[in-house]
Every structure is written in C-alpha cells, then in structure tokens.
Structure 1
Amino acid sequence: MRRESISPSASRRRPAQASLLLLIGAGLFLRTLQNLVNQDLGFDRRNLLLFALDPRRSDYTQDRIAVRYQQLLESIQAVPGVLSATASQSALLSGWTSNSGISTDGPQLEPSQSTNVYWNLVGPAFSHTMGIGTILGRDIEWRDVQGSRKVVVVNEAMARHFFPNENPLGHHLSFGSSPTPKEPYQIVGVVGNAKYGWMREEPPRTVYVPYTAGSGSLGRLYFEVRTAGDPTALIPAVQQIVRRIDPGLPLADVKTQAQQIEEALRQERMFACLSGFFGALALLLVSVGLYGTLAYAVTRRTKEIGVRMALGARRLAVVWMILRESLLLVLVGVAIGLPVALATTRFVASQLYGVKPNDVPTIAMAALILAAVGSAAGYLPARRASRVDPMAALRYE
C-alpha cells in the first residue's frame, strides 16, 4: 500500500505566506491606532466643546473684535453646565501650528541647540480649561488679555530647554533672532507639556501668548468650552449666545475635542481597516484552499485510511494524521514567509507609532492566528476521514 501525502509545494505555500504578511501588517496598524488613541495627550480630551468664529468677515475693527470675544466668553461661562471657557488661535490637534525662533535673557545656548518654539495665541484660563496642569506661576488671565500685556506662559519642554538650571519665572523672551528686542515678553507661568498640532509628534516647546498681545491682527479664534456633562447638549445655548451678541457672526467647525481627535486619526483608522479587511480576506482564501486540498487528499486516501482503521488505528490518530498535513503546510509557509514579511514591513515603519516593524508579539499573534485557521480548515476533512467505514473503504476504488 503506497501512502499519499500532501507536499508543501510552492503553490500551496504562497497563500500562507501572503496571509502572514497581511496579518502582520494588520496587527502593526491596529497596534499603531491603539497606541495613538490611548496615549497621554497632556490635556483632558473629555467634555470639551470646540467652535470657531471669524469676525473679520463682518468688517469688525480690531478693538471691536476683542470686545466681542470678551462678551462671548463671559456669556458662555454663565451658562449652567459650563465649567470654564477659553479661546485659542489654533485648536489643539487641528494640524494648524505657528512657530518662530526666539531669544531670551537666559543662559546662552550652544550653537547646535535650536532656538525654535511653537506658539499659540490663547485666552484667559487656557491651561485650566484644557486640563493642562500649571507647574509654576499662573495661567493667562483676563487682565493680560484686556491690557494686551506682554506676558507669556511656557510649557515645561520650553523651560527645560532655555532655562535648564534656573527658574524661568520673571525671565523675558522675544520672538525673532534680534539680541536686543524692543518688546520682550515676561514669563509668568510654566505648564505641563501637551500635544499641539499632531498626535504623532512629541509635545513641542510651546509658548502661550494672550490673543490680544500678538504681533499680528486679531482674527479667527477657536473657542474651547469645558462642560460638566455631554458638551453637545450645550450647542444650542452657544448658538443662541452668538446670535444674541451678533447675528452676523458666522459659527464654524462646531465639534467636540473627541471628534477633533477622531478626525486627526482618520488616516490611521483607514489603514487599520483596510489592512484588517485584506488580512481577513487572505485568511478566508487560505482556509478555503486548505479545506479543498485536504478534502481531495482524504478522498484519494480513503482506502489507506480504511486499512489503518481495520488494523486498529484510533479515530483520534486519523484526525491527527490529517491535521498534521494542514499544519505542515501552514508552518512551512510561515517559515518561508517570515523573512519576506520582516523585509517588507520595514517600508511601512514611517506609518507606525509606538511599535516597531519587527514587533515580536504582533508577529507571534499573526503566526498563531494562521495556525489556528489552518487547524480549523483541516478539521472537517479530518473528521470525515475518522468516520470512514473500514469495510467500505477497502472496497473503494
């Protein structure tokens, strides 16, 4: 009696190799999305309503814009359920940032050290409203905004870079590279590090300036409203306040901070969904292919199986004999496909976050999933083989 087996030929290995590559890719993109979603942003993303106003479209003068913004913030803060409200030129994680070189009266930096910082024009209680902790000094206050005072609040990264062994409070900085600035800004507070423009970047060195004390004209601002409950429930109240102050003010980009983050993660979610879809499709094709191959092999080996069972082979041994063929195909495919997968995933390293292309847990999980699918695909043919009637099998041609 000649024993037939399923050899792990190249045509049978390729589906497993492709599936391994797609599964590893899906795992890496899913891990990236998970890391981005769960990371510490440096501020509290919960219960925060955002919207934008641009009075310049209504031909406002600069002084009138400042008055309207103050009226709006004071009215919103009086709404029941509002804990605090502020404003900023750039909403956090919106992708819009401003940066500039600065000079300070602090220690001289080495020539190789950057003097660049990011800056944002903000309203009173910005750090408090956004949930960014104050480390030293104070937050931007109404007196700073109303008086267009030349004061700033800096984050910890900026303070450590420019004043590594000093208390930065009371020191001065100026935007631009001039060593003798005309209008220096005094540092009145140091706050924690927070993500600014993008979720993938570490919190940059940041300077917060009162929105009336910037060098340019005052225009479009984002308003951030911290609420005690669901922020979307306060949208009608905010719309009513804006209409009451000036019906001609266009309200734009109404969303929650959570929705802002979802928009920032749109590309990552797309990559994760697409890679997951193709990984699942590849698994389906592998399982169908293995099932067809093993079912055909069982049919070809019906007489052999009958002889084994007639000689006393147990059903469990027959099941294992078929499953072993399935696992062999998968394992050989994994062994050959793994180096290819490792070489290929290097090209998506720039799209990953918090995980390396050769991440061992992700690769191990992909291999285990592939082995589990291979076992499941081989189970039905193996079960059918174990139920072969030995007498009928011996008469099978």
Structure 2
Amino acid sequence: MSATPQRCLGLLSGTSADGVDAALVTISGAGEHARLTLTAFATYPYPAALRQELFALFAQTAPVLPRLCVLDTLIGEAFVTAAQHLCDAAGVPLQALMVIGSHGQTVWHQPAPDPSLPLAASGTLQIGSPAVIAQRTGVPVIADFRSADIAAGGQGAPLVPYFDWVVFRHPTVHRAVQNLGGIANVTYVPAGAGRDDVLAFDTGPGNMLIDGVVQLLTDDAQAYDRDGQLAARGRVLPELLAFLLDDPYFQLPPPKTTGREAYGRERCRAILEHVGLRPGALRLGAEPKTVEFQRACDLLATLVALTAESIAEAYRRWLGPVDEVIVGGGGTRNPVLMAALARALAPARVVPHEAYGIDSKAKEAMAFALLAHDALLGLPTNMPRATGARQAVTLGSLTPPRLGAPP
C-alpha cells in the first residue's frame, strides 16, 4: 500500500435531512494505521423545496415512486454542488481527489425482515445517485455502504464504528463514543481493543423525538429546541418517562439499529396525543403562561430525559467498564441534553470530540472519506460484532468516473 497521503472527500445527509455535510480529508496510511487530517468542512443546506419533497417521500405521500426516482437524481446533484463548493473554498481541484465517499440520504432502512410483508427480507435504501456524482466530478465514487454488510447477514449499521476504532482506541482507557444525532448510537472501544472487541449499536432516539415534537408544536416554525430553552422551562414527568422507557427496542440486545421508521413524525404525533397536546400549541404568539405551554415544556424536558436515560441504560445492560464518553452530533449543542447525559453517565468523564481534535460536526463525513479510501484498497471496513455480519467485508460499491476531465 502506498504511504503517499491521499485527499478524500466524504459526503452524507443525516436523519434530520437538513443538508449535505462535506469533509475534505487527507489520509496517510490505511486500516487501523490510518491517520486523518481534516482540511475543510461545511454543511450545505438543502433548498427548501427539495427538503419539502424529501419529507413528503419519508411520509410516503403519493406519488411515491416518481418522487423517489426524481429525488435520487436531485440529491445526487446536491451532493455534487457540495463537493464543488467545498473543494473551491479549500483551493483543492476535484482532480486532486483520490475518491469521494457518499453515504447519500437514507429513505428506508429495514435491518430485519418484516413479517407483515408477503415476501420478507432485510434491505436498505439510500438515494443520491453515485452515477451523477461521478459523472459531474470526474472522481471515483464509493456509495451504498450498507448493502454489503446486509448481504453478509448484518444489519448494515452502524457504519461509523470503524472510524471510532481507528481514531479513538487507547491502550489503557475504556471509551464509549456516543453520537447524538437524530438517532443516538454508541461505539464501545475497550482498552487495547482489536477489531473484534468493538461493540456498537443504536441506543434509541437522540434528537429525533425532541425535534419532531418541537416541529409539530410550532407548526414547523421551529426545527428544534434551540439551546434547550423550552426543555429548560419544563420538569421531567416521571410517569410519562417510565411509559416512554417501556419501549421494546430498549430491551433488544445488540446488534440492533433503528431510525425514522420507529421514531419519526408518526411516533411524535402519537406522543402528543398520549399527553393530550395538540399540534400548534407552541406556534408563534403562544402565551408562555398558559397550562398548555407549560405542559409542552414538560414534555420536552421528559424527552430529553428519555434520550439520556435510554443511553445510560444501554451502557448498563450491554457495555463493559466505561472511563470516558466522547460525545458528538447535533445534540452536543443542546446544553440541557448534555447536562442530563453527564448526570446519567456519572462517574464516567463526558467530553466532546473537540477535546481530541475532531470537529464533531465533521466526524461522520470524515468517516465516509475513510471508508471510501479503505474500500478502494480492498480492506474490510465493517465491524461484524457491531452489525451482526457473519464476516468482515469491504463496504461500498464503486462507480468509476467518466473518461476525460470534469466539466
């Protein structure tokens, strides 16, 4: 393997579907010996009309198949724009890239067969045509990272534990790397971990229920609870918290994954109905002193507690000793959630990724740059103990670029 450092670009759109994260990374070495340096990172928001169509697709609003087909192309174009803009800003020509790793936008993830279907099987679907990206950029594209693991009997997720193992393993410190995205997931990297010692799984909802309830309560005027301001005005409702923690998903042993199909808008609507709150209760102009307003804040405080307590319970059930928790994802910008998590995980030390020189906003995009880089070298990049796969496999499918220089 060449020791020459390579420039690689990682692209993804997460469960919040708010835009494209793009990370330009220089990678030296490969596999467990890889060393990554972040050159540039940015998030490029989707145009409002495109995001609206995405959520119509998530809701399976007719016409589903034409919308799916068109969005595959349009999301691919959005990824191309992100790649071009980031490389231009960094002063790096596209031709200098070894590879682009594109996770695309997940629209459905079926890690286990659904017995209600007449022909049941596992599967996963991400859109954002890699052919469009390769054609427009002239760079090889690795995409469809989940399918190879599913074909090997795994759940196709989580994918980032490979990055966590490469970057965060330590000879004497037991670490948990916790992501607080729409879905919360953990990678457990015990001291001196080899590949087969790493355990990872989705612990349950991260920001998804909090964000979804805020969107419903404000008639979509707010996308999330900025700085946890609404939750900070509420109190945790013990009976509601106990009800929400009585969730079959939390009882499942790893490997396990979940997503929008379990904790999306329909689940949020059901929670509002359960507590007797109507959509729009916190719309613009709502009176903060009303009983309804306070009930809404109490609900959000309880959902924050749900995220923190479900993570802590997952650690107690499934992990070994934890000395340090390294936290990333959008939830790190919610101080109420971070405080609740620190209380729930004490006495473990809770620190952000930035404490180790990793921009937490850039981490997942960096991970796909690494996965693509190592895939081109034919290295196995799944973590079978995390996904449940029968064996280690190389993740991703290669789409070669067109011949000639990009336009």
TM range (shorter): under 0.3
1 or 2 for the larger relative contact order (CA 8 Å, sep ≥6)? 1
Name whichever structure is richer in helix by fraction: 1
Q: Which has the higher strand share?
A: 2
User: Over alpha carbons, which structure has the higher Rg?
Assistant: 1
